[in-house]
Chains A and B, each alone.
Chain A
């Protein structure tokens, strides 16, 4: 009965979404304002129902209810609780339900918290949100019912893909999805503002916290995913330009551009049409990402199901939503009035450059990701586009982008002098030049990209704090601190990336127990191999000690795990983190002479990549909180002033 309750909740939520859309549309078209009072409660009820539906699915996984097909296919009774919970979204149907649940919660969030938008714009926004929801409810109910029963009831399930049995799965998809789907709010806002001709600073100020919120989660989700791939796959890399990774990067690039252009709209009433376009593009990229991952066009560990009807369904939804929004944009862009003016050398000018370069990177990633599908569709040839393409094409643009990032916050709005700017960033420029000089002098065999990256990072690290120069630190607004921390985070991540790609040392050996391997300053001793058993796996575990210089001796245990339920092996890398990097040890196979393959990396400062990502997200969070607090304060002041009159 529990599964049926979940299904009923899902149907009811779908019905409410339809009702929400209908009431909004009738109210707007016929001018029946009395309908509007019902919209917020309906949006909230819809969010509650779809959340209940999702929680019921989680409960079915926790209870290992083997009468539900999805649980049978993707779970097994003997499995740690956390993997039972996270297994809920470790499959196609469950992850789509999570997607839709977040969509519903986003709509409920607008209904609950959005107080600054004009009424008609708000109603149109909730209509758009409901319209998106209806399509994805239909997709779930028609093509991917997660609550389907199975008969006869099997004794046990088939288990979860062992690669997914990791805390990474508990964190990465939900965070990423909140970011992905949170962008639907910006999309709906843009549609609402375009239809009601309500594009201006007030609209931008209302939209900004939502964009920041979604972007923070997206940033965290990508950072977590990168670290997860890094330690779980055992390949030693942190970004593989896998299509599925690109699917998450593309919305992030668009959202990053959006959250910069929305500031121009909010502060200076400029870049109106462009900001609307970005809001539409950002969520479109989320949907395209979902299509790429969920339709099975890219077969990888992420594509849980290969089913053409599902792909066709999502493709149709994509066409309706993206095409519809673009049509509204095309119809209304002529009525969006020109925003205010600015000179090329100005804060606006820098933000335009930021937007253009981010869009260029987005275009390159998009082309590289879809090109293989295109070629296969046209000629039948199979090609793969990998890291060499992406690094070559995006690297130089990214470097220009971060250089502009250092200068942008130091420019005045509207009009500034190039000479004054040069004065303000003379110290970061000097530091960059000195770093470049030092690196050229003291290092060998660094790639140009890493060399420039490292030198630029040094300059940016300083430049990011320059906006605080000669300012009263206690009166500097919180969102400025947010920007500083986020930009500093970029420098931190850049150091990690350049250092990892340039200074990593690697050894691949066949070692007998008792052998010692030297990697950089590390003495790695291979002691023995022992069999061990976990809750649902057995493993061969290497006993290894590692010593950095004359420091303490650490024990690490890389493993090869066997999962009998899935008849699969995984390799569990052993990581040893120091302040200046990570030692990464992977255990391979044995040979006839009793030697074991060990692959050992020393990766200096690699952890900075993810610390940088966390800092960027933290900056976004501070900016969001700062903006919200300021909005509340200004509202209070206004009310107080009105009360006095």
Chain B
């Protein structure tokens, strides 16, 4: 099983480094960006299996990054999880309705983080399989027809 790749976006260097270290400890391949803009630049050449992203950041905030990822066909399937000090229920609801795969409120326990990451990755994997099966089925049906 290959190592899962995670992109962590947060403007606070201490947060960034700590979480990265935690996830590395859990055997994930982690890369970081300080804001949405940096993240997009990174995504041009490195596609992660999951994105963890802070909400309030300079230059480009979490919502803006999420929106531009959702609008990008090749990036939109990547599970996107918000990691924010904001805990207003309205905001969390909005993010989830906009298609975020999770919302973790700071501060959090490491178990919560690993759980939500693992769940996101599993779902992503599952979706990939279903899609593959569908395509396989489609091919089968096509070959049967021909």
Pair from one complex: no
Taking Cβ atoms with an 8 Å cutoff, the residues of A that contact B are none
Taking Cβ atoms with an 8 Å cutoff, the residues of B that contact A are none
